[in-house]
A = this chain, B = another copy of it.
Amino acid sequence: LSRRERLRENTIAEIKQIARRQMAENGTAAVSLNAIARELEVSTPALYRYFSSRDDLVTALIADAYYDLAAAMETASQSLPQQDYRGRLMATVLAYRAWALAHPVDFELIYGNPIPGYHAPEAITTPAARQGFAVILGILYQALQAGQLRPLPEYAQVPGDVDLLLPELPGDQSDPLPGIVLYLGVVGWARVHGLIMLELFHHSQGVVGDTATLYSHEMENLLSSIGLKLEMPQAG
């Protein structure tokens, strides 16, 4: 990279960082080119050197958030031995929550209301969104192949008429996933998501004292119900 390109990358990073800070203070809708320019001590039109419109900037922020979240999950999933499917799934969903709490506005940005007046280009957004989900699906798939996925009867097979499908993205070479993996992925993800949304938008406030513990318990129940039981330590 040339010197000029490095400077450019730095400026882009700085713009995004200011935008995130301002969102943290005033909500996701408060991505304002004027406000960013003011803080960067630059005229507003200067920002158009880096993003062709406000929507462009928002799209970049959304994509970053998805990839950052997915990276946190991936890292967690790799922090344990490959065969420890239960541990890896648990670490992954804990990382999911930790990331959400550490980056609440980024989480709102991707999973909350769309920003008023902004319409996301799905060609960029969909692959980014799938990244995190893929981490969970990957672990489930490996557990299945290892014969360790033994869901309780109610989760044992995909309800015939639910009609799951994960459309292939362009450039994706992998084989289609077994339906059961997709099914458990979706219902599991919904359980993760529900608790976090309630917590993040303050609907657990005043009811649940220790949200972290509640989350862990519910996740253990979830993992047990798909057959990834917590192993008792073996004697000898």
A interface residues with partner B (beta carbon < 8 Å): 26-30, 108, 111-114, 116-117, 126, 129, 154-155, 159, 161-167, 182, 186-187, 189-195, 197-198, 201, 203-204, 206-210, 213-214, 217-218, 220-221, 224-225
Contact = CB atoms under 8 A, between A and B. Distances in A.
A154 B224 CA distance: 9
Contacts of A191: 190-191, 194
Contacts of A210: 161-163
Given A112-B112, A209-B163, A213-B161, A190 B194 contact: yes
A159 B207 contact: no
The 3 A-B residue pairs whose C-beta atoms are closest, nearest first, are A194-B194, A163-B209, A29-B116
B201 A214 contact: no
Contact of A197 (B27, B194, B207): B194
